[in-house]
Amino acid sequence: MNRKLLLILPLVAFVALTGFFLRGLWLNPREVPSPLIGKAAPGFERPVLHALERSFTPQELRGQVWLLNVWASWCAPCREEHPLFNSLAKAKVVPIVGLNYKDNPDAARKWLVALGDPFLLTVIDADGRVGLDYGVYGVPETFVIDKSGVIRLKHIGPLTQEKLDKTVLPLVRQLQQGG
Amino acid sequence: MRALLVLCLVFLACAAAAYAQVPASPAELERRETAIAAELRCLVCQNQSIAESNADLARDLRQQIREQLKAGKSDAEIRDFMTARYGDFVLYRPPLKAGTVLLWFGPFALLGLGALIAARIVRTRRSSVALSDADRARAAELLGRGREDGA
């Protein structure tokens, strides 16, 4: 009996390994878990794209659940996800702040005119220093920030309708209902 | 004599400590920058370190390392700065903690398991050499016949 068990051990190990590899096939190696989840959103103070004399800090949105979308006019996948934000803004579900990452302000303004502007306001991060503090490495990225200013979710890459409906919006609603 | 020696050593130690306080030379800073960058993974091109990569992000991070070194930060402080933003994933040499125990010791555990199995197989083989009386009788018969044939 013991011997038979020993004989099928390689098969069991093989199946287990195959299971891991199969799972690995469907994982996205670009999605690195962020250490910032559950931590306070890093503070910053940066000019607003459409009102350069005014600057924005995340502190202003304390008490609200909001999204921070990191984008740039040179980023092709940002175009892909943009309609989602447009419809989200139209439905007034949650305020969205744009972080214009390492971009040319003129190009950024033109981009918003052409594709629609879903943002409460857009903040200019010309040198990418704010992006660095948020651990941004692949634009677009989207953060969900709760009422007390804590990062609850980070999505890397273009947001999809599926991810929005299944993960982002339920979380937003839950956070909005909570104290 | 011994007191003199001790005094000498104390002075030497003081001199060394003072030397450590002197701001590092540009060459030394560059060496440290490269050393740190070589141990950080570039997140855009995951199989390269940020020292090797030409990606925009890697350039920004190298710039960041340079600035912090100039500001007098230690290597460990800079690594902490990076892991606070990008997680342990940026380190090519991940720290030993609960989440990484399997990563560090998994291979050794597998090796141990293999050795255990090998030892078991060897032991069972050795004991299976034991022959029953019937086996012995048959062997003797065969061997006896062989001798007769050869004779």
pLDDT at B53 over 90: no
Distance from CA of A70 to the nearest CA of B (A): 14
DSSP state, A133? H
pLDDT at A179 over 70: no
Residues B32 and B90 in one domain: yes
CA dihedral B60, B63, B67, B69 (to 10 degrees): 120
pLDDT at B38 over 60: yes
B95, B121, B138 — which closes off a domain? Answer: B95
Q: Is residue B2 part of a domain?
A: no
Distance from CA of A129 to the nearest CA of B (A): 9
Residues B59 and B36 in one domain: yes
B59, B78, B95 — which closes off a domain? Answer: B95
| pLDDT in the model for residue B134 | 87
ipTM metric: 0.77
Residues B84 and B109 in one domain: no
Q: Do B86 and A32 touch (CB under 8 A)?
A: yes
Partner residue facing A33 (CB), from B44, B60, B87: B87
- CB contact B34 to A (< 8 Å): no
pLDDT at A44 over 80: yes
Q: Tell me what the mean pLDDT of segment A27-35 comes to.
A: 78
Q: Is residue B54 part of a domain?
A: yes
pLDDT at B120 over 80: yes
Chain B residues within an 8 Å CB radius of A41: none
Q: Tell me what the mean pLDDT of segment B35-63 comes to.
A: 87
> Minimal Cα distance from B60: which residue of A?
A128
Partner residue facing A132 (CB), from B60, B87, B117: B60
pLDDT at A149 over 90: yes
Length of chain B: 151
Distance from CA of A3 to the nearest CA of B (A): 10
Distance from CA of A59 to the nearest CA of B (A): 20
Residues B81 and B42 in one domain: yes
Helix (H) or strand (E) holding A23: helix A2-26
Q: How far apart are CA B67 and CA B61, in angstroms?
A: 10
- CB contact B117 to A (< 8 Å): yes
| pLDDT in the model for residue B44 | 80
Residues B39 and B72 in one domain: yes
Q: Is residue B32 part of a domain?
A: yes
Spatial CB neighbours of B29, under 8 Å, sequence gap ≥ 6: B66, B69, B70
Residue located via tokens 């609603």: A173
| pLDDT in the model for residue A62 | 92
pLDDT band per the 50, 70, 90 thresholds, residue B151: very low
pLDDT digits (tens, 9 = 90+) for B124-144: 887 766 778 888 888 888 888
Is CATH 3.40.30.10 what the domain over A38-177 is classified as, yes or no?
A: yes
Mutation test of the interface with chain A: which of B50, B53, B57, choosing the one with the most A Cβ atoms within 10 A?
Answer: B57
Average pLDDT of chain A, as a whole number: 91
CATH code assigned at B84: 1.10.8.640
Residues B120 and B79 in one domain: no
> Minimal Cα distance from A133: which residue of B?
B85
| pLDDT in the model for residue A109 | 95
Encode B64-94: b = buried (16+ Cβ within 10 Å), e = exposed: bbbebbeeeeeeeebbebbbebbbbebeeee
The SS3 call for residue A34 is coil
In chain A, where the domains are located: 38-177
Residues B89 and B103 in one domain: no
Residues B77 and B117 in one domain: no
Chain center to CA of B115: 21
Residues B91 and B63 in one domain: yes
Higher pLDDT, B15 or B41: B41
Q: Is residue B19 part of a domain?
A: no
Q: How far apart are CA A167 and CA A174, in angstroms?
A: 11
pLDDT band per the 50, 70, 90 thresholds, residue B11: low
Average pLDDT of chain B, as a whole number: 81
Measured N-to-C along each axis, helices B26-38 and B75-86 cross at an angle, to the nearest 10 degrees, of: 40
3-state secondary structure chain B: CHHHHHHHHHHHHHHHHHHHHCCCCHHHHHHHHHHHHHCEECCCCCCCECCCCCCHHHHHHHHHHHHHHHCCCCHHHHHHHHHHHHCHHHECCCCCCHHHHHHHHHHHHHHHHHHHHHHHHHHHHHHCCCCCHHHHHHHHHHHHHHHHHHC
| pLDDT in the model for residue A79 | 94
Q: Is residue B41 part of a domain?
A: yes
Other C-beta atoms lying within 10 Å of the C-beta of residue B125: 9
Chain A residues within an 8 Å CB radius of B124: 3
Residues B89 and B104 in one domain: no
Count the domains in chain B.
2
Domain that holds residue B104: 99-150
| pLDDT in the model for residue B50 | 86
> Per DSSP, what are the bridge partners of residue A144?
A67, A153
| pLDDT in the model for residue A61 | 93
Mutation test of the interface with chain A: which of B40, B41, B43, B102, choosing the one with the most A Cβ atoms within 10 A?
Answer: B43
Q: Tell me what the mean pLDDT of segment A78-86 comes to.
A: 94
Q: How far apart are CA A178 and CA A175, in angstroms?
A: 5
Partner residue facing B87 (CB), from A6, A35, A102: A35
Residues B75 and B130 in one domain: no
Mutation test of the interface with chain B: which of A75, A102, A132, A134, choosing the one with the most B Cβ atoms within 10 A?
Answer: A132
**Cα angle: B105, vertex B111, B112; to 5 degrees:** 90
| pLDDT in the model for residue A55 | 92
> Minimal Cα distance from A36: which residue of B?
B85
